[in-house]
Amino acid sequence: MMEESPFPEAPCTTEVSNEGYFSTEQGTARVRPVFERKIPAGDDRERLVCGTCGFIVYDNPRIIVGAVCTWEDRVLLARRAIEPRRGYWTVPAGFMELRETTEEGAAREVREETGARVRIVDLLALYNLTHISQVHLIYRAEMMDPHHAPGQESLETALVAWSDIPWDDLAYPTVSWALRDHAQRIGLSNFAPAGRPNGSP
Amino acid sequence: MMEESPFPEAPCTTEVSNEGYFSTEQGTARVRPVFERKIPAGDDRERLVCGTCGFIVYDNPRIIVGAVCTWEDRVLLARRAIEPRRGYWTVPAGFMELRETTEEGAAREVREETGARVRIVDLLALYNLTHISQVHLIYRAEMMDPHHAPGQESLETALVAWSDIPWDDLAYPTVSWALRDHAQRIGLSNFAPAGRPNGSP
């Protein structure tokens, strides 16, 4: 913002706290901010802006971290116990959390959903899903031992040979992309991460 | 969440709208949700949860997209016109926006901050900055022509030879990392993205 503030005598200051967004009116009472959707000065797209004090709420894409995990020539799959796509198979993956690295997030999701302990090897793929504003970072990982067991979000887990992958029962297209991208890179290292396949839906 | 909802007779439903978070009480009036910080059932960390209806607010890391842009053997730098680090030099980069790809976001930031039109080549680096919960995705890009001019967020822009990079006046450590990672990969292609240097602060 290069321009002078259009809120010179704002009676409130909007902040983020444990209680969500709130406004402090004349430095005392907490009130609900009066948000309107507008383009802030110096910006080029609409944001939620407090009409009184000018506080801007930014909404940005979210990161999904996950891994294609292997033990010998098998890959680790989990059958979802939660919606959406309950009952369908996936590679372990989920929302990245604050204060962790992408690698730590991927290993955490593996542990939570499959009970497996893994060593993250390298970045297999970066998939942009613009329709839901998600960036998927999928790693390759080696299991430290063949142990796996369903976590709270999984009905069952399995170490599956390539010929046994349940292609018709995968939860999402990204799961299929990740498995195929993995298969094409076995034995390779130091490669650019795969992207979303051309022409994919 | 595998457990039964602990809010069986919740009188409100919290939702996200243009006005921010709000609750609909008995399906009609809009009221402020009553958030408390607690660990939701089936989760393992604290979230903002509406104490009445159980709505959970997730806060996740944000993505910075940017690019090391080249014309012949020079790199494109911009001197920041805004805080933080006003007056210091950077490669163009900024927060990824909703509904764009990481490549589109990087090219947009370049255009906004330096006026340059670029072709994104490949992913140079992925830096995890856990202390501020940011993931930086820095691309390599080729300028389509040597034109550049400061945008609203830049005081000036420059195409700089390696020997003229103002190392002592760079805005952030990540700028230095990206420039060095770029220099080490000139002439290479199909490589794994660089990560945060070992032992970096």
Residue A160 pLDDT > 50: yes
Q: What is the pLDDT of residue A198?
A: 80
Q: Report the pLDDT averaged over residues B47-61.
A: 80
Q: pLDDT value at position A27? A: 56
Partner-chain residue, chosen from A42, A61, A102, that has the shortest CB–CB distance to B152: A42
For A161, counting Cβ atoms within 10 Å of its Cβ (0-12 exposed, 13-18 middle, 19+ buried), the class is exposed
Interface test with chain A among B130, B139, B189, by most A beta carbons within 10 Å: B130
Name the minimum distance, in Å, from the CA of B190 to any CA of chain A: 5
Closest A-chain CA to B47: A18
B21 neighbourhood in chain A, CB within 8 Å: 20-21
- CA–CA distance, B152 with A75 (Å, rounded to integer): 49
Helices (H), B40-190: 102-114, 173-184
Percent of chain B at pLDDT > 70 equals 83
Q: Select the residue from B36, B58, B98 to test the A interface by mutation, using most A Cβ atoms within 10 A.
A: B98
Q: For the segment B113-123, what is each residue's pLDDT rounded down to a tens digit?
A: 999 999 999 99
pLDDT digits (tens, 9 = 90+) for A96-147: 999 999 999 999 999 999 999 999 999 999 999 999 999 999 999 999 999 9
Residue B85's pLDDT is 96
Alpha helices (runs of H) in A69-169, residue ranges in sequence order: 102-114
CB-nearest to B20 from A57, A58, A193 is: A57
Out of A48, A126, A153, the one facing B18 most closely (by C-beta) is A48
**Partner-chain residue, chosen from B101, B130, B192, that has the shortest CB–CB distance to A191:** B192
- Cβ–Cβ below 8 Å for B130 and A191: no
Q: Which residue of A37, A99, A123 is in closest CB contact with B130? A: A99
Domains identified in chain B and CATH numbers: 12-57 (no CATH), 62-184 (3.90.79.10)
Report CB contact under 8 Å: A100, B130: yes
pLDDT tier, A43 (very low <50, low <70, confident <90, very high otherwise): confident
pLDDT in tens, A174-200: 999 999 999 999 999 999 999 999 866
Chain A residue numbers touching B18 (CB-CB < 8 A): 35-37, 48
* Beta carbons of A191 and B189 less than 8 Å apart: no
Cβ(A37)–Cβ(A46) below 8 Å: yes
Chain B nearest-CA residue for A101: B128
Q: Residue A111 has what pLDDT?
A: 98
Q: Look at residue A2 in the predicted model and tell me its pLDDT.
A: 42
Compute the nearest-CA separation of A174 from chain B (Å).
15
Residues from chain B contacting residue A18 (CB–CB below 8 Å): 35-37, 48
What CA–CA distances, in Å, run from A89 to A75, A154, A161, B145, B169? 12, 9, 14, 48, 51
Highest mean pLDDT among A7-11, A51-55, A175-179: A175-179
Confidence of residue B57 (pLDDT cuts 50, 70, 90): confident
ipTM for the whole complex: 0.87
Residue of B nearest to A124 (CA): B192
Per-residue pLDDT tens over the stretch A65-88: 999 999 999 999 999 999 999 999
Residue B8's pLDDT band, with cuts at 50, 70 and 90, is: low
**E strand or H helix that includes residue A173:** helix A173-184
How far apart CA B1 and CA B57 sit, in angstroms, is 15
- B4 pLDDT above the threshold of 60: no
